[in-house]
Structure 1
Amino acid sequence: MAAFIQKLFKNRKTVSLESQKASEKPQSNQPTEEDNRQQLRQQQERQLGASPEPSALAALAIEGVTSAIRLQAASQLNQEEHLQAVLKQAKGRDKSVYQTVKQSLQILKEQQASEAATQHRITELVGQAQDQARSEDTKLYEARLNALQDHWQSVENKASAEQTQQFLQAVHQIRERQKQLDETRQEEQRHLDQKQQRQETLELLQQTLNQLKAAVPSGLPSESALDALQKTQENRWLEATRDTQVEKQEQKQYEQAMLALRNYLGAVRRLNLARPQISELESNDTDSAQAAAKALLQEVAWPQEFPLPQALADLRALAGKPRTQPASDGTREQQQANVAALNTTLPKLEAALEAKQFRESRQLLKTAQNQFQALDDRHRKNVQAKMQLLAGQFRELSDWQGFATEPKQVSLCEQMEYLAEQPMEPEAKAERIKELQNEWRELGGSSDRTLWNRFKAASDQAYEPCKAYFEAKADLKQANLHKREAICEELERFLAQADWTSIDWKGAERIHQTARQEWKAAWPVDFRDNRQVQKRFDDLLKNLERPLDEERQKNEAAKQAIVERAQALIDHEPLQEAMDQAKALQSEWKRIGITRHREDRKLWQAFRQACDQIFERRDAQRSAQQQATEKADADARAVVAKYRDLGTEADEALINEAKTELKPLADMPLSRPVRGEVQDLRQHLTELGQRKKLKARLDNWKTLIKERVSGALAPEQVPSNWQNLVNGATSLTGRDLVIRAEIVAGQETPDSDQGRRMEIQVQRLAEGLGGGDQTSPEQELERLIALWCLHPEMNEQSAEHAGRLVQALESRLQH
């Protein structure tokens, strides 16, 4: 595409050159160059207004006659390949177009990066949902699901239908798993509660029996209390053993305890009934009374493991040992009821079979078989033959029914199995499943249980993804409806509280944009439920948009006035004043509130173009200043290179010459680095002069030091201030003076004087701590030399000491 744009530019340039050559021919009827330019400008403006192709826009962005055409064409480009091509062509040619295209590319890249990040986030969320659906880790299961759904809401509108289905299916699986986990926990808790109830029942029964066995014979427990205890514990055990696993030992323990309690309760009842007779026998001591007592003992049949009540003990003493009597068990009434129910069902079954009613016959036969199984062997023999006859008739009816419908039902099974394997949109698949199930019902079902199980299993398999989709979609629709209602409530609250005279317009605009985005994101919703809330939202949005539009129009007018003021500054003088006012206009522009995006972009381009023209004048001035600076730098570097290597051997005339050539450079427009080099050279020359003067002084001092070895010096031979340095000074030996000079100058001292040097250093340290005068090393050396030359009490001024003093001076000079 870039090559195509370049070729297009080349052809355009060729045409332009040919037009130029033609215009140069001396023909009186040819239009002028200005006319051709005007015509081309009009043609390009019409082309821009006709929504041209991106390639044509790219060409206009580079070859447009005016900067406005180029800028408008560049601002309309939105494809990366065209933007890249124009960016490459505009670099160094058109700054406004280059900046506009560069900004558009940046925005495009940010959008692409944002979309890529969103897609990556969607993929992550789908993967996390699927991982949780498969994971065995149930810790914080529901909390993780809620977090996933909250994150999904922020990216749902960017997800594809397939991604949405995958996420919703995973959410459904997670919910099913959560449901199973809850049911499992509830079931486990139920079993634990039942086990606890059974344990408590056994403990209560055992405790009661123990109390009864340990009771005194003189009193008996209340019959009604024992009866209530028995019934409550029987019901409690029944509930505690319903739909749960009970160990054989536990069940045996209960049956033994409850049997013992029943036997005891029965004996108490019989004893209470026999008390009047026992009272009569106690007053009669005849043989007939003894026989009656034996009969009463057998009738009461008191359990041996419990203490014998006093009344029975007296009765036993009267009659002797009691005899036990087996209990009777009667089920005759129940059997008669079962026979009656079966006799009622069989005629109905016969009538249904004669009418060829397959469904009714199947249900009645099942009922009759259940009733038949409830009979004992004696009653079964009376109806067994008739049951076999009716069952055979039903098999014949089933065979006839299956012969007619079986091929069609097999075909429906095959279609359903094929449908289960096909990846289809959930709604389309659900519709097809419903059609096949209706066809199956129209065939009247199937007597072949295997065939029915096959069709049902295929139906369940086919509907499984649809089930997850529709359940999740229903939940999502309801949740989105609640979100939309909440959005309307927030808008109503905002509009009711808004003070349009002092409102934050940008905040109000963000509320408007956020409401629209959140409304769009709250999708899908049920159409019927959404009608009222949609109308409510539209009315609220209009009430919010009305003052926003008024404020936008007012702000657009203010920005238009700023554009006109900026255009008036393009040729304004002085330039600095124009730039300052342009910067002030930019700050004023930023303070203006909300506007329409399209109108604001047009106004901004016009304002930016005017500001660019103002600052282009500054760039031109800076370019001239840069050229002057480069020339001044070159001249200054030549001077610096000429004199930077001067040393102490240079004479005074050469140093003065260098200073003379440096003076004009102070007023030249030098760059900062070069100005620093010039300043360094100027400082170097100053220090060089000072060092030369110091060297001359030190040379004079060395001469005086050597002359003093030969004899005393006259005051006029030494500097005038030395006498002041000597007056009042303490006398030193030549050795100590030289050591002090070596310490000040940083010069090594011979080994023979190292001990003395240490003593002097300690002494100097004590003098410094005492707060003595602080002098520089040069001043200290000068004072020592003055003492050497003028102090009347100075001794040990040998040639050796003089030589060491001179070396100390030379060492200091090198520093």
Structure 2
Amino acid sequence: MSGEQITAVEQQLHALKGLFAQRSNQEPEELLKQVKAVIQSAEQIVGAFHALDAKAADLDALRAEITALTAKNTTGIHSAAKRLHKLFNKDMWPDQVPHSALYSAALETAQHMQRLQDKNKAYLEKLHKDSLTNIAALEQHVEQGQVNDAQRLWDKVQGAIKNADEALKKELQEKVTPYKARISELMDWKNFAATEKKKELIAHMQALIDGKMHAADKAKRIKSLQDEWKKLGHSLHNDSLWTQFNELSHTAFEPCKEYFKERKTKLQSNLEERNKICAQLEELVTTLTPENLNIANLNKIESKALEDWKTFAPVEQSKIKKLQKRFNTVLTELRQFKRKSLQGNATRKLELIAQAEQLDTLENVKEAMAEAKKLQATWKTIGPSPYKDDRNHWNAFRAACDKIFSKRPTESAPGKSDSSSSAARTTARTGERTARPAANPAVAAARDALRRISDLLTLSSEELAQSKKQFAELKEAFFNTLTPDLKHEKKALQEQFEKLSKTFDNKLRAAPDKKSLQLIGQVRTKAEFCEKLESDVLAGKSVDDIDALAEQWQALGRLADLMQEQTLEQRFHTLSHGADAKLLKKQSKDNEEKAREICIAAEIHAAIESPDSDKPLRMQVQLKQLKNSFGKTSKSSAQLVSELEMQLMCLGPLEGKARKSFEERIVKAKAKL
């Protein structure tokens, strides 16, 4: 209802009152009662309107104040509620009459205040509960002399008291006040102890000034002393001690400034050099073509770039990630180009091998030999193929060519009769062959020694490490067979031995040493102990004597490898603390996925295929390997597979059939290496 409407009501009210006074003795009693009621209602509306209008400024100010209040401001809420109650009564306006703008605004303020009071009530209930919990904890800290925690909770309770209503304030004050004296006493002791500790830190800082220490180490030590100082908090003579400590800190750090200035220059220089390396490689990649490719030179460039990259380190931490990504990207491009070129060379070589082998079917030997020479000339123009295949490609090509040239027709020696030549030709036509001379015993003995050396290469890594003496004996036996009467065979036999010897040395270097073998044995023993317990639990047997089992477990000793030790320790802990068959079956199912990843990783290192069912997972494992291997010390594939084998041993529980399958895959990977 607006002001104009109120004015009209006032006019109508005045007229109605006049009419009522004139006709009060002439109209029926019932009508007079109705008129009187209308007059009273109109007077109430007019009165309420003017009353609110007189308080409008106060209501606006109060509305703004209430809007700014939060549920935690208990005092402010109580004060505002009292003032609002004095200024506004929601019953002052008749329900059946439209509200004025002032009344509607005041009513909205009252509703907002009610919501605020409801929230404040809930806040006080929580404040009461939390404060009682804090007071109980404070008591514990005081009893244990933990002054910092006690002071922290004291401050919390005091903060709660400020936001509480009068009744809650009184209750909390009564409960917390008895601890004030004890906390003050503890604080006095803390300040005394902190003072003594600060004096020690000042002495340490003075020692840094007087002593000799590398600038980087000195800076770390200064930072460490400053951190200790911050933890001590307030103490006696706090300001004077801090002034002394701070001045000594600046003096001690003075020699470090020059070091960090030089270091900053060095970091910038390294950054520039690394950027140069990236720029040079990027420029090189843009100029590479199959025609100008020189694999040997590219390998040297890559090795030099990697070596220089390590030399120009460190660089600023914030620049490392982006710079390393740039370097890795250009290296990847370079390696991909080399890989494609090597694979292209391999394809061309395989084509030449196939062509050379096809020449064996030609009847015209001279034509076949001429074609073979052309193929050999072409072979010389082809660059290398992948390292692991290059030697095999050459051997296959040479064998195919040798087979052609071995058919070269022998010329007749001077003085031989035509009849003998004719006889030879007749023999060749009829397919007769002269008997070969008896095999040389020395050659047979040498080949036997080579065969036995070759057998050593099939041994497992552990067995190979124990076969060094046997290899030495076979080596001596082999060289004893190389008698002076051996001519053409001697060179070929020596080449075979050198190849086998090199392979043996490589596999021996990759094989685990005595310490590693001992670790593998310990891991296997502890893993088998857990497997036996898991089998019993899965079979429904209960683990009765836990203490006896724990003694047996302790007797097995601790592993030198912390990761394997923790894995097996957790496995035994699960078994010795009430594991049931249902839990083990669930864990076994989960562990099959982990075992599968372990086997795939081993197969990747051994460069062998994974089962078809695991091929989708293989790509994920390869990506994970690349990510984890970045920046780490490189290990041989055999060492990595050996570590994976131990991981599989430590993994459990695993269903017996599944474990056997996974172990066979690991064995296959080891055999390949």
Task: Tell me, yes or no, whether TM beats 0.5.
Answer: no
Q: Which has the larger radius of gyration?
A: 1
